[in-house]
Amino acid sequence: MDTLYFDHCASTPIHGRVAETVLEVMKIHFANAAALHRAGAEAMKLVDRARAGIAAGFRVKPDEVVFTSGGTESNNLALKGTIGSLARSAKHVIVSSVEHASVYRCAKQLEEQGVEVTWLPVDRYGSVRVEDVTAALRADTALVSVMHVNNETGTVQPIREIGEALARYPQVRFHVDGVQAIGKVPVRFREWGIDMYSASAHKFQGPKGVGFLLVREGLALAPLLAGGSQEAGVRGGTHNVPGIVGMAQAFRLATESMPERRERMFRLRRRLLELASTIPELVLNGYGAEEEEKTSPHVVNLSYPGMRPEVLVHMLEKHGVLVSTQSACSSKSLQPSRVLSSMGLGEDRASGSIRISFGDEHDERDIDTLGERLRMTVDKLKPLERSRG
């Protein structure tokens, strides 16, 4: 039986051309990019070229790209770096209640250190309301952080509308966690009034352990770690040259054909929703096919109310299908999904969800196979559900 991997939100398979590039750079350009000798300078040229390529994709200046180790570091740098760089009078942040753990727990840490946090509610689809953002603003608000695409449900937040609303409050920084958005949905950093935007390479077929934070020109950030002067002193540490070069290539590949890839993935999503709708035990969490403009094309979240998600995941794995529960960073938690609970869904539904996420290697036949195996799994679990009742 072939194994089908449907966990792209956790990590995508690295693109073949990117893997070749990373290996080549590792072999040839192993010198420290900060070194003064020729080999170091050649490595730095590759870093600069990668930075320019990513900057061009967002229509920003190369100096506005800060390389990091991935999404978690980028998000922590945005939140903690902002608070650390501002006067004590600006100690209030606004964070949505459905953020990834790297923002949610970071905000919790700040809260423990005396920073006041307003947690934005969401509607039953997981969407933030712009009026809730503006209602939460205070004179001492330093930062608003709202993710672009939710990592559990695929819901796309109204980033443009929030940015337009915050334009009237220039003292408030707007951070967006875009880890699940790159290559899936359009991003307009400058036009939407975004101040900081986080990304992670392995979410768009790049290597693991590398990411970036776009930082609007002129914003100061306190570094998370004491170290060297790399990345203009904001992020010390030796450059991950192979990772950075591979990320830039993966970014270009993911974004240059995005319209065609989006339409293709939406077709797969529609087919999966159609198949799932024929299994009465499964319930969709998030937007359906009728409101595609509000969701990312690569994620479907389904609940089998009352069924433990790990039972579903392991039974699907026996049938050759790999999916996940919640986010990868929270997959071992036995608690109901924080995201689904915030959407007002009951404990049975929030405790029994699986996340299916797909990408370029999948086609309609894979989705049909997934549908068949979902049905087989549910049929085998029905007796267990009855015995529990």
**Residue 332: per-residue pLDDT:** 57
Residue 309 has pLDDT above 50, yes or no: yes
What is the sign, positive or negative, of the torsion defined by CA atoms of 46, 70, 26, 57? negative
Residues listed for the chain = 389
Rounded to an integer, what distance in angstroms lies between the CA atom of residue 375 and that of residue 378? 5
**pLDDT tens digit string along 19-59?**
999 999 999 999 999 999 999 999 999 999 999 999 999 99
Distance from the Cα of residue 275 to its chain's centroid: 26
**Residue 336: per-residue pLDDT:** 87
Domain 16-252 = CATH 3.40.50.1450: no
**Residue 335: per-residue pLDDT:** 79
Q: What angle do CA 210, 211, 215 make, to 5 degrees?
A: 145
Distance from the Cα of residue 21 to its chain's centroid: 24
Mean pLDDT for 6-18 is 97
Residues in CB range of 306: below 8 A, 6 or more apart: 348, 352, 385, 388
**pLDDT tens digit string along 231-289?**
999 999 999 999 999 999 999 999 999 999 999 999 999 999 999 999 999 999 999 99
Question: Which parts of 113-187 fold into alpha helices (H)?
Answer: 130-136, 159-166
> Smallest Cα–Cα separation from 250: which of 302, 308, 211, 294?
211
Average pLDDT, the chain: 94
The catalytic residue positions are 329
Residue 389 has pLDDT above 50, yes or no: no
Rounded to an integer, what distance in angstroms lies between the CA atom of residue 76 and that of residue 100? 11
**pLDDT tens digit string along 164-194?**
999 999 999 999 999 999 999 999 999 999 9
**Residue 27: per-residue pLDDT:** 97
Which tokens hold the place of 318? 């026996």
Which tokens hold the place of 89? 């009078």
**In the chain, where the domains are located:** 4-12+258-381, 16-252
3-class SS letters over 184-225: CCCCCCCCCCCCEEEEEHHHCCCCCCCEEEEECCCCCCCCCC
CB atoms within 10 A of CB 354: 25
**Residue 386: per-residue pLDDT:** 46
**pLDDT tens digit string along 328-363?**
555 555 678 999 999 999 998 998 899 999 999 999
Architecture of domain 4-12+258-381: Alpha-Beta Complex (3.90)
> Is the entire prediction scored with pTM above 0.85?
yes
**pLDDT tens digit string along 130-163?**
999 999 999 999 999 999 999 999 999 999 999 9
**Residue 56: per-residue pLDDT:** 98
**Residue 295: per-residue pLDDT:** 97
Rounded to an integer, what distance in angstroms lies between the CA atom of residue 198 and that of residue 80? 14
